[in-house]
Structure 1
Amino acid sequence: MSSAQHVTSGSEGNPQYLVIDDRKKRRMISNRESARRSRMKKQNHVGDLINQVSKLQKEKNEIMQSVNATTQHYLEVSSENDILRAQMMELTDRLQSLNSVLHIVEEVSGLAMDIPEIPDPLLKPWQLPCPSQLIMASVNIFQS
């Protein structure tokens, strides 16, 4: 064999190998482009997820602030209710004392007095001591 035949019998000289090399190059280019698109898609997806995390953290913080404010308002109202209950019990005791004085005056004087019974708010919390008095509330009472 001559040296000229040796050179042309390699992959550079044979048209069949040139077609295979060309296909290989196109496939490599296509694979690189596909990998680039995949990386870009992944990067965009990660960016979207980061934005979503940020948005959800902000929303969580707002909800936590609202919960804290509502809890604080609840504690204030609960404390006020405790004070009002204590005052009601004290006033009920005073009223019972005054009624017993009226009973004594009624017995001593012989005059009939209309002494209403005092409802026990602990036994019947749904029964108001003064049923003719309306309790008004605003829709915004629980909003801060």
Structure 2
Amino acid sequence: MRIKLASADGFEAGWPDGAEVVEWSAETAGRFHAVYAASFRDRPGFPDPAAEEWIEENTEDDDFRPQWSLMVALPEHGDVGFVTAAEGWIVQVGVVPAARGTGLGGALIRESLRRMAAAGATEAWLTVNVNNPTAAGLYRKLGFDVMGQRARYR
């Protein structure tokens, strides 16, 4: 899926009261992994990589952008969602089950897109599994257009 980025102004995140937004760093990477694992553990086939492996997979990518990769914490729940981003891509988005449906996934994506646009990006891409229609619906609502489907992509 792809979205055109006209300007950074079109992406107001809309964070809930008390939300703390944290950028990826060497100090926060372990927290990102913990939220990643909590967000996807309930998905069929979740590979559950070790923190070091997952962190390395992200940071070794030359296109990885820590300043566009964000985590959100809420006072009553702690760390509840994350987005990782690379040049031109939303790589992963996850929200822990207890915080799903609260708008945090959309807020994370909008803030990451705002930062991309502010850095001069003109478009962003993402992929979504065919067995995740809820996420696909969110991405369409945010303005992403379906650009195709890869055969056997699950």
For Structure 1 versus Structure 2, the TM-score category normalised by the shorter chain is under 0.3
Larger strand percent: 2
- TM-score scaled by length of structure 1: 0.21
Q: Which has the larger radius of gyration?
A: 1
Relative contact order, higher structure (CA 8 A, sep 6+): 2
Larger helix percent: 1
